[in-house]
Structures are given as C-alpha cells and as structure tokens.
Amino acid sequence: MTSKYDYPEIIAWLEKKGKKDFGDKFQFLEQDTTNITKLICYFLDDEYTAAQFEIDLSKGILLSGPVGCGKTSLMALMRYVPQPNKKFFMKTCRDISFEFIKDGYEVIQRYSHGHNTHAEHKNYCFDDLGTEKNLKYFGNECNVMAEIILSRYDIFISKKIYTHITTNLSASEIETAYGNRVRSRLRNMLNLIAFDKTDKDKR
C-alpha cells in the first residue's frame, strides 16, 4: 500500500499559496519538509502516510517551536488542505484574552460549546498559546486558555471536535503555566509536531 497523494506537488502548490498570502519572500525550507508533510497528511486524512509518522488522525495538532519558525503561517496555509470534517477556524490566544476582558466568562463558553448550548461545535486552532496572561474580570482572576482547553477536551471525547494549538512553550513550560491537568489533556487530545529549538527566526 502507498499514499495516493503526491506530497512534493502539494508542497509546491502550498508554497505558491504562501507567496500569494504572505508575500514573494515566503518559502518553505528543506529542513521543514518533514513537518509540513506531517501536517498535510493529517489534514488530508491520509492513513498510510500518517501511520508512517505515527500520527493519530483522530486527535488534533500541537505545533510547537521557537519564535519565528513559521508555525502560524503554516497552520494558516493548512486551511487550504482539509477534508470537510477537518476545516477549522484560527484565533490568537491574545485576542481571546482581550475578549475575556470585555465579555467575561461567556468567552470560555464561546470557544468550547459555541455561543449557546445548541450551537454547532467548531474545530479551532488557538494560535500562540502562552502569549496571553492570566486576566481579571471584575476582580476575579482566570486562566482563560486553561479553562477553554479543559472544556475542549470534554467535547473532543464526546463529539470528536478537533482542537489545534501553536505555541513557543515546551511541555514543562505548558505545565508550569496551565497546570498538570491541562498538560495531561493536551497529551491525550493532540499530536505533537515540533520544530527544532535551534531554528533561526525566519521572519
């Protein structure tokens, strides 16, 4: 059995999309080909290639790496690729934190169960986990992203709704910032795809 997809061709097509979206200087580096292939096979639901990389197609993606390695633009480009059930929305964690200051605890509901309990659940990519800070709403401090992740885990288990995250944080830094329970849930619901920590800033 082999994959039915031509990955070099898809990568070349995505790089053209990247130049259109992010400017002519945009390019994929050869050292990133493996991670790009992992992401593409995941969003295409390519069981053969996913098995080669030990990627669980029923989980989401945790894309980690140093600042400027291209995580956000890569995930943005993946929105051109998905099978219908894997289409997703992107939202920065900082924007969510500003929404929390304005709207309070309703924001946790918004990104876990939708705007109301009967709303359709959405697949989300939460971009740049760790850039937001613990925030106060009427004097009550809340680790907004920790609460959203815990809620997203519940709908991942019950409804198979996907969550993706990009972050500069290591696993131990995630545990320090969000607690052991969140780290454990992330391990259960996400595939880790990591860029080398020594990668230079590509911006």
Q: Where are the domains of the chain?
A: 57-194
Q: Is it the case that residue 118 has pLDDT exceeding 70?
A: no
Question: Which secondary-structure segment (H or E) carries 164?
Answer: strand 163-167
Q: What's the pLDDT score for residue 87? A: 94
Distance of CA 70 to the CA centre of its chain: 13
Q: What's the pLDDT score for residue 101? A: 82
Q: Is it the case that residue 137 has pLDDT exceeding 70?
A: no
Q: What is the fold, at CATH topology level, of the domain defined by 57-194?
A: Rossmann fold (3.40.50)
| CA dihedral of residues 108, 113, 117, 118 (deg, nearest 10) | 150
Distances 168 to 39, 50, 64, 67, 197 between C-alpha atoms, Å: 18, 24, 6, 6, 9
- Band of the pLDDT at 180, cuts 50, 70, 90? very high
Task: Tokens for 198, please give them.
Answer: 């020594």
Average pLDDT value over all residues in the chain: 88
Greater confidence (58 vs 199) lies with 58
Segment 143-176, tens digit of pLDDT: 889 999 999 999 999 999 999 999 999 888 888 8
Contact 55, 42 (CB under 8 A): yes
Q: What's the pLDDT score for residue 111? A: 92
Contact 123, 138 (CB under 8 A): no
- Band of the pLDDT at 68, cuts 50, 70, 90? confident
Task: Kindly report the backbone phi and psi dihedral angles of residue 24, in degrees, each rounded to the nearest multiple of 5, phi listed first.
Answer: -60, -25
**Length reported for the chain:** 203
